[in-house]
Amino acid sequence: MSLKIKIAARLKAKAAGVNLSQARIDAIVTRAEKGLTDESDDTAIDANLDIINELTPFKEIASYDDHQRAKAKKEADEKEAARLKAIEEGKTPEPDADPNESSTDKLLKALMIKLDKQNEEISAIKGEKVTSTRREQFIKSMEGTSAEYQARELKKFDRISFKDDADFTSFLEDTKDDHAGAVQEASNADLGNDRPAGGTGGGNASTKKEATAAEVEAAFTNLKI
């Protein structure tokens, strides 16, 4: 029987009931080998094991290992719960850390994450600017129409999501006839309200004017739900 096997057997006998992991048993056996040979008897082996037990009690080692295992399990459970919650909320779970990852790799990864967030913020800002510019173009395309008409059309416009510039340009072209019709309708209404000079009521020609930007915004605000 080899020395390692004999030491392990004596350790299990002396530490009966102590929950030592295999890694701990191997480490204690290695320490207990010092000064022993394959011919060493149980008395010599026990003497070495007793010295080790006095310096680092086997029960305390087992207790510490139990604590570490429980801690590792708790952290693993919490990590898994967080991962499942992220998936449920439609988020991307944090990837597991690579134990072989160098400090340089970690730094580069952190920089890439930061750059990605900055790019997202820039894209959001650009998107807001595009939306604002398109809204201004749409208002300009409605020049000559009444404030009420523009407010009503803006309310519809703000609910539209355009795929790209081409989609928006097509929308502007499609709505030109609508705007022209609104202008003509307003003009016809004005003609119907005109009265001959000196006629009943003595009214003048219609004084209806095109909507200013301020009037459009005011009317649009009043129409909002």
Q: Pick the more confident residue, 218 or 24.
A: 24
pTM: 0.38
**Which token pair is 133?**
């510019």
The domain segmentation of the chain, as residue ranges, is 3-84, 123-223
Whether the CB-CB separation of 5 and 40 falls below 8 Å is answered with no
> According to the model, what pLDDT value does residue 105 have?
75
Q: Give pLDDT tens digits for 58-82.
A: 999 999 999 999 999 999 999 889 8
Q: What is the pLDDT of residues 10-39, one digit of tens each?
A: 999 999 989 899 999 999 999 999 999 999
CA distance 81 to 78: 5
What DSSP assignment string belongs to 55-102?
HS-HHHHHHHHHHHHHHHHHHHHHHHHHHHHHHHTTPPPPPPP-TT--
pLDDT of 98 reads 65
pLDDT per residue as tens digits for the range 177-212: 989 988 888 888 767 655 555 444 444 444 445 556
What is the distance between the alpha carbons of residues 174 and 172, in angstroms, rounded to a whole number?
A: 5
| pLDDT reported for residue 225 | 47
